[in-house]
Chain A
Amino acid sequence: MTEDQFIRLLEGFHHRRLSKEELLSFLKAAEDPRFESLIGERLHMELAQMRASSIAEGQRADKVWQNIHTAVFAAPKPAHRIHFLRMAWVRYAAAVIILFAIGAYFWTSGKRQHQDVAVSTDIAPGHEGAILTLADGTQVKLDSMDNGTVAEQKGTKVLLKDGSLAYNASNASAMTFNTMTTPNGRQFSIRLPDGSRAWLNAASSITYPTAFIGKERPVTITGEVYFEIAGDPAKPFKVKVNDKTEIEVLGTSFNVKAYPGDATINTTLLTGAVRLYTSDHVQPLKPGEQTRVKQDGEIQLIRNADIQKIMAWKNGLFNFQDESLEEVMKQLERWYDIKIRYIGDPPKAKFFGEVGRDLTLSQVIETLREVGIQCNIEGHTLIVTH
């Protein structure tokens, strides 16, 4: 596509005058860094031509102002929560858009006699936070700290900035390893010394050198981590999942899910290229593909992975597409830091739909009840009755 052709599409996009095919080819072409910066330049030009106007006083302005005000003035530790979760926040605020239970099991209305036990102590959703373990074993809790230098080790500075951790290794003299761990109910992101970024879902960890000296960039993870790797062909980035599974990366974005207890280790590639190594296999991945590695090392390749579902956690959502009740509950366990107890067999149901991760537990429970699942909170245990 030439630049002129792209500009025509962009203008059609502004005016909502594109056919379906044109629209899709516009969105596709916008991935091209050349065209992306073209959009950026045009946008910048329009921004620079903005003039202060009369005072905006519409309801939309009021609503957005209210959000900003809450983010910067109301909260004792400002803004960064909104940051990570804002995609979901605004529109899913306090509401579950769609959540259904369907399939193998039907609840009759007669069975829906959930006792209206008042939930006296609601459980808040998880938020940003993590524990950083330094090379000497010192632990730093990153939940409530202000921006600034968190630690300095052998010439490498660790900085906390807007709810994300960053390393400045310009004076690094030696390689030491740090570990960042998110407990249940916390998520966090980190910018590694090479500029690569990693987002940790709840109950996850990443161990990495504070400076990438040497021929490789090795890290080890547990749980679920999404990576955006800075390209460096001379220094492959390697993600070790366990003794048998390793992912070699050239410059790319991908998600790894490897919680203890999961039946498979799932690696999903969004852009670029990675190679997955097991004890006796090598599996290259193309964008949109997912590998599932079973305990016995068998690799299954999924060609059209559901990226939206896989990346939902990073976008502030739970996506329960095609999940069983038990799978749904596992996610709630990690995010709300609760335990699940079943009375009777877990009901067999398939879910679909998305739920904001900013809901409190009682809001989630209300939704579950609406689709006929009987559950109650007792302390930090969610009891599901069948």
Chain B
Amino acid sequence: MSTGQPYNETELLRRIADGDQDAFSEFFRRYFDQLYLIMFKYTNRNIDAEDIVQAVFVKAWEKRQVFNEMEDPMSWFFVTARNEYQDRFRKSRLSRRYQQYLQEVFDQSDISPESILTNKEYANIYHQAISNLPEKQRMAYKLSRENGLTYDEIATEMKVEKSTVKEHIGRAIRSIRAFFLSQTGQTDDFLLFLLFFKLLSPSILYHSSLYI
């Protein structure tokens, strides 16, 4: 897929302006990872980050005609991304679910987002670590980290106590960490504990059919 040629975004955007769907798809693939990561860093919840990215690209397609008239269409893209973020964050910030969710995630935090890793190998290990988890732990972990549910909501969904949910997630985090360390041969200090964000991004599994 990758041709190895240097890529000119402005040229790509001009093709999009002409209605080229392949160019649009390519543009999305080139920027998804980074845009998602930044939005994750600024919202700390997967579903917000996904929705923002989605909205930005939808807007880009709707507004594609104006790219032709712009000196620097990428800067339009950045402004739109920022606006979408601010809109979304303004709404989320007021939501009790979001506040609750953040408290829970900060309380059982597995990661330190600054150590952003781009390594696909790590992503695979993470992926594997998740699939190794016992079913209940995996479900609780993913309902929280993937779907953005609060512990109360997960408890309802899984028909267990809230304290059990917390326990499942704590165990999941410890297992993932242990597996990761054993596979990479790293020490705890180094990983402490790597950023899932980056790991999550390129290749985390998303079994929507299982959990929705």
Q: Mark B136-153, 1 if CB is under 8 A from A, else 0.
A: 000000000001110001
Query: Quick one: which of A59-83 are within 8 Å of B by CB?
Result: 59-61, 63-65, 67-68, 71-73, 78-79, 82-83
Q: Is B54's CB under 8 angstroms from A87's CB?
A: no
Across the interface, name the chain B residue whose C-beta is closest to A80: B62
Pick the residue among B105, B114, B212 that contacts A95 (CB under 8 A): B212
B132 within 8 A of A: no
Identify which of A24, A50, A59 gathers the most chain B CB atoms within 10 Å of its CB. Answer: A50
Residue B190, interface by CB 8 Å: no
Say whether B184 faces chain A, with CB atoms less than 8 Å apart: no
Q: Which residue in chain B gives the minimum CB-CB distance to A20? A: B103
Size of A's binding interface in residues, CB under 8 A: 59
- A residues with a Cβ closer than 8 A to B are 13-18, 20, 23-24, 27, 30-31, 36, 39-40, 43-44, 46-48, 50-61, 63-65, 67-68, 71-73, 78-79, 82-83, 86-87, 90-91, 93-95, 97-98, 100, 162, 270, 307-308, 315
Q: For residue B202, which residues in chain A have a CB less than 8 angstroms away from its CB?
A: 56-58, 60-61
Are A57 and B29 neighbours in the complex by a CB distance under 8 Å? yes
A-B contact pairs, 29 of them (CB 8 A): A16-B44, A16-B109, A20-B103, A20-B106, A23-B102, A24-B99, A30-B89, A39-B89, A40-B86, A46-B41, A48-B75, A51-B34, A53-B31, A53-B34, A55-B1, A55-B2, A55-B29, A55-B30, A59-B204, A60-B50, A60-B206, A63-B208, A64-B32, A68-B54, A83-B55, A83-B58, A162-B62, A308-B96, A308-B97
Instruction: Looking at the assembled complex, report how far the CB atom of A268 sits from the nearest CB atom of chain B, in whole angstroms.
Output: 13
Closest 10 CB pairs of A and B: A58-B203, A56-B32, A58-B202, A52-B30, A47-B78, A16-B109, A95-B212, A55-B29, A72-B61, A50-B34
B99 engages A44 (CB within 8 Å):
no
- Contact status A43-B82, CB under 8 Å: yes
- B124-172 contacts to A, CB under 8 A, are 147-149, 153, 156-157
Question: Are B34 and A73 interface neighbours, CB within 8 A?
Answer: no
Which listed residue, B42, B47, B111, B208, touches A43 by the CB 8 Å rule? B42
**Given the contacts A16-B106, A46-B38, A56-B33, A97 and B58 also touching, CB distance less than 8 Å:** no
Q: How far is the CA of A68 from the CA of B112 in the complex (A)?
A: 30
State A348–B203 Cα separation when bound (angstroms).
Answer: 48
Q: Out of B1, B28, B114, B153, which one reaches A68, CB within 8 Å?
A: B28
User: Besides the contacts A20-B106, A48-B78, A53-B30, what 18 more A-B pairs have beta carbons closer than 8 Å?
Assistant: A15-B113, A23-B102, A27-B102, A31-B93, A46-B38, A52-B7, A57-B202, A57-B203, A58-B202, A60-B206, A64-B50, A79-B62, A83-B55, A90-B47, A90-B54, A93-B208, A98-B157, A308-B94
Does B36 have its Cβ within 8 Å of any Cβ on chain A?
Answer: yes
- Do B50 and A50 have beta carbons less than 8 Å apart? no
With a cutoff of 8 Å between Cβ atoms, the chain B residues found around residue A63 in the complex are: 50, 206, 208
Q: Is B62 in contact with A72, judged by CB distance below 8 angstroms?
A: yes
CB-CB under 8 A from B82, the residues of chain A are 40, 43-44, 47
**What CA separation (Å) do A275 and B97 show in the bound complex?**
30
B25 within 8 Å of A (CB atoms): yes
What CA separation (Å) do A225 and B75 show in the bound complex? 35
CA distance in complex: A73, B25 (Å): 12
Q: For residue B118, which residues in chain A have a CB less than 8 angstroms away from its CB?
A: 53
Inter-chain contact B205/A59, CB cutoff 8 Å = yes
Q: In whole angstroms, how far apart are the Cα atoms of A132 and B156 in the complex? A: 43
Q: For B105, what are the chain A residues with a Cβ–Cβ distance below 8 Å?
A: 16
Contact between chains at B28 and A65 (CB < 8 Å): yes
Within the assembled complex, what's the spacing in Å between the Cα atoms of A59 and B31? 15
For B75, what are the chain A residues with a Cβ–Cβ distance below 8 Å? 48
B80 (CB) vs chain A CBs: closest residue: A47
Q: Given A67-B54, A72-B58, answer yes or no on A59-B203 (Cβ-Cβ < 8 Å).
A: yes
Look across to chain B and name the residue whose beta carbon is closest to the beta carbon of A48.
Answer: B78
In the complex, chain A residues whose CB is within 8 Å of the CB of B123: 58
Most chain B beta-carbon neighbours within 10 Å: one of A27, A39, A48, A56? A56
Say whether A14 contacts B93, CB under 8 Å: no
Q: Which residues of B contact A13 (CB under 8 A)?
A: 44
Q: Are B95 and A308 in contact (CB under 8 A)?
A: yes
Chain A residues near B95 (CB-CB < 8 A): 308
A16 to B40 alpha-carbon distance, docked (Å): 11
- Tell me, in angstroms, the Cα distance from A140 to B106 when the chains sit together: 50
Determine the residue in chain B with the shortest Cβ distance to A97.
Answer: B153
